[in-house]
Structures are given as C-alpha cells and as structure tokens.
Amino acid sequence: MELNYFSLYLRDYLRDHRFEPTEISSQLVKDNADRAAQTFEDYRKSGASLDGATDIALQDLFIGIGLSRAEKAADILEEEFSDRIIITEPTVFDFWTQELVSDESIWEDFYKEGELGLNQELIDEGNETLHDRIDQFLTNHGL
C-alpha cells in the first residue's frame, strides 16, 4: 500500500488530468514522489513551516511532468474545432478526443526525452503544426 503523500498527490493529479495508466505508474512518477518526500523532510528538519516545506516539495514533484494528450486534444477540439465536432454531446466528443489521442503521428514531435506527457514549449513552438495535423485527421475522417 502506497503511503507516500506526494505519490498519492501526483497520481491523483495525473488521473484527474487524464494521463494514461502506464504514465501514472511510470518510474518518473515514483522518482518525483520520492524526491518530493525527501525535499519535504529536509526542509522540515531545517525549520521550514509545514506549508513552506510542502510548497517547495511540490515543485520537485512536478519536474518533467507535462500535459496529457487527452486533455490537450479535448482543449483543442473545444477551442478550435467546435464547428466540426459536436462538443455538447459527451459521447461524440469523448469518442473523437480518444481517436485523436490514439493517433501517435499527431503527437510524436511534442515530447521531450525523460519527461512525462506533452512538453508545453514544444507545443507552443509547433502549435501550427499540431493544429494542421488535427485538421488533417478530422478531414480524413469526414469531419
């Protein structure tokens, strides 16, 4: 049974943000939780307040954690393609979100080695490319 507060915190965060189960159980998650717990302990021993030590430890917890494909796909569909996808119908919206998530070629350029999830800087740099890939995906599927 996992008793590490930071591990539980990070895993809950990843589930809430629609990361895949394999990502949630990755070594990076375990390593970050262990590092955050150690940081918390070290800061508490040096006299930091509970809140202060927690704030610093949480910074360590999220090192190398990016965005989930599912969350990013849903955001893009909702913000940029709501004229092509019925976003008010949850079943339809979830179906097309999952279809986008499962197409590796859309996302392949937006990861950094050793990180979990999509890298925000790479998405910012390649936003037009990502948009074009999703547009092409929807066109190929008659949308």
Q: What is the pLDDT of residues 61-114, one digit of tens each?
A: 999 999 999 999 999 999 999 999 888 999 999 999 999 999 999 999 999 999
Domain regions of the chain by residue span: 5-61, 69-140
| Strand spans (E) along 15-72 | none
Alpha-carbon span 55 to 12, nearest angstrom: 17
The reported pLDDT for the residue numbered 1 is: 40
* DSSP state for residue 66 in the 8-state scheme: -
Q: What is the mean pLDDT of residues 123-143?
A: 96
The reported pLDDT for the residue numbered 87 is: 86
Please answer whether residues 86 and 93 qualify as being in contact, where contact means their C-beta atoms are separated by less than 8 angstroms: yes
Give yes or no for residue 27 having a pLDDT over 80: yes
Secondary structure class of 67 (helix, strand, coil): strand
The reported pLDDT for the residue numbered 65 is: 97
Give the pLDDT band of residue 28 (cuts 50, 70, 90): very high
The reported pLDDT for the residue numbered 120 is: 94
Secondary structure class of 118 (helix, strand, coil): strand
Alpha-carbon span 118 to 15, nearest angstrom: 15
Give the pLDDT band of residue 2 (cuts 50, 70, 90): low
Dihedral angle, C-alpha 137, 67, 25, 55, nearest 10 °:
-170
Give the pLDDT band of residue 3 (cuts 50, 70, 90): low
The reported pLDDT for the residue numbered 4 is: 87
* Topology annotation, domain 5-61: Helicase, Ruva Protein; domain 3 (1.10.8)
> pTM here?
0.85
Alpha-carbon span 91 to 77, nearest angstrom: 14
Please answer whether residues 69 and 123 qualify as being in contact, where contact means their C-beta atoms are separated by less than 8 angstroms: no
